[in-house]
Amino acid sequence: MHILLSSVQEEFHKAVSFLKKEYASLQTGRANSGLVEDIEVEQYGQRMPIRHLANISLNGQEILIDPWDRSVLSVIEKAIREKSDLGLNPINNGVAIRINVPPLTEDRRREMVKIVHQKAEHARVSIRQARQGVQEKLRKEEKDGGMSEDDLKRLEKDLQKEVDEANKKVEDLCKHKEIEVMTV
């Protein structure tokens, strides 16, 4: 396998992994630690995700954030209110933060499906850009005499197979998340 094909596989894997992470942070009307664990908080002179500052647990439709240091409670609460676009209302009881995750309305579910499709399209664009970069390098290598035209065609065919596989993964993730969002 050509070295460019193995490097593009890694790029495709990154795009799919990023999409999975993005989908984990989408509110689906169920309590999910992924909604808050990656929200960054300014503490101890640096930016840290909440998961590095507290235990995050689930209790039915509620997320419980129990910081190891009580002095970060207000900072975490503020970050959830201001920096997340989830529209969640954290409740600080002086010991922990509770977040009640309300069920989604039908209109909000439809909006979320649109967001799911937008995020999938961003992943597809990343895949296309990676493919285009590799195709340009392969054509340049062929033009410079580094490979034959037959080798170029074979490698482009192999590249397209990789692109198709990555796009299938994106499509499968998209369909799964759409079903999850629309399930009441």
Predicted confidence (pLDDT) per residue in 121-154, tens digit? 999 999 999 999 999 998 998 888 888 889 889 9
101-115 tens-digit pLDDT: 877 788 888 888 999
Work out the percent of the chain whose per-residue pLDDT is above 70: 96
Query: What's the number of CA atoms in the CB half-sphere (13 Å) around residue 8?
Result: 29
Q: What is the pLDDT of residue 1?
A: 53
Q: Of 47 and 1, which is predicted with more confidence?
A: 47
- Look-up of token digits 């995700």: 49
Q: How far apart are CA 94 and CA 91, in angstroms?
A: 9
Q: pLDDT at position 123, please?
A: 95
What is the three-class DSSP state of 155?
A: helix
pLDDT at 21: 87
- Compute how many other C-beta atoms are within 10 angstroms of the C-beta atom of residue 51: 15
pLDDT of 86:
67
Scanning the structure block, which residue is given the tokens 């799919």?
16
Question: Is this prediction's pTM over 0.85?
Answer: no
Q: Compute the average pLDDT of residues 51-78.
A: 89
> What is the residue type of 81?
R
